[in-house]
Amino acid sequence: MKRIILFAFVLTFCGILSAQETAVKQLGKADFLEKIMNYEKNPDKWVYLGDKPCIIDFYADWCRPCKIASPILEELAEKYKGKIDFYKVNTDIESSLKSAFGIQSIPAFLYCPQNGNPQMSVGVAHTAEETKALFEKIIKEFLLK
């Protein structure tokens, strides 16, 4: 019995560790205000606080298109490590961020260049390959131009 309990604990612990080791980092409101933009302090002007461009995925766990985008963003986060930060915001938990950016459909993606104003897109393409190609185009033509 003790072995079963220990085994279950180890599996649970390893699951928690693997969830934390993703290249796309989870953002809550406090982190958003500190790392991306403090819209409470600057409600009328975009002031980006990051030290490199970023992509923020506004998603929900139940959203099927969000599940299509997630592994693509993980792959791109590894590819562009050190050049672009990748974040995700769970809109079911962070409703204030969802409201602040007027998000009505998910997935929604906020692309924040180092300088200048951000852009937002909603949804994914018909296939994972097309979705990845769109992300790559935005990265090359907007974030890393």
The whole-number pLDDT of residue 21 equals: 66
The whole-number pLDDT of residue 7 equals: 37
Answer whether residue 76 is part of any domain.
Answer: yes
Answer whether residue 130 is part of any domain.
Answer: yes
pLDDT tens sequence for the chain (145 residues):
444 333 333 333 344 334 456 899 999 999 999 999 999 999 899 999 999 999 999 999 999 999 999 999 999 999 999 999 999 999 999 999 999 999 999 999 999 999 999 999 999 999 999 999 999 999 999 999 8
Answer whether residue 52 is part of any domain.
Answer: yes
The whole-number pLDDT of residue 22 equals: 81
Tell me the pTM: 0.84
Give yes or no: 54 in active site.
no
Number of compact structural domains in the chain = 1
Q: What is the CATH number of the domain that holds 34?
A: 3.40.30.10
Q: Which of 14, 54, 63, 112 is catalytic?
A: 63
Give yes or no: 66 in active site.
yes
Task: Write the CA distances from 141 to 33, 135, 136, integer angstroms.
Answer: 26, 10, 8
Rounded to whole angstroms, the Cα distance separating 20 from 130 reads 28
The whole-number pLDDT of residue 10 equals: 36
Cβ distance 58 to 123 under 8 Å? no
Neighbours of 133 (CB within 10 A): 13
Answer whether residue 113 is part of any domain.
Answer: yes
Domain interval for residue 55: 24-143
Cβ distance 91 to 57 under 8 Å? no
Answer whether residue 6 is part of any domain.
Answer: no
Alpha helices in the chain (DSSP H): 2-20, 29-35, 64-79, 95-100, 128-138
Answer whether residue 131 is part of any domain.
Answer: yes
Q: How far apart are the first and last CA of the chain?
A: 59
Answer whether residue 39 is part of any domain.
Answer: yes
Answer whether residue 14 is part of any domain.
Answer: no
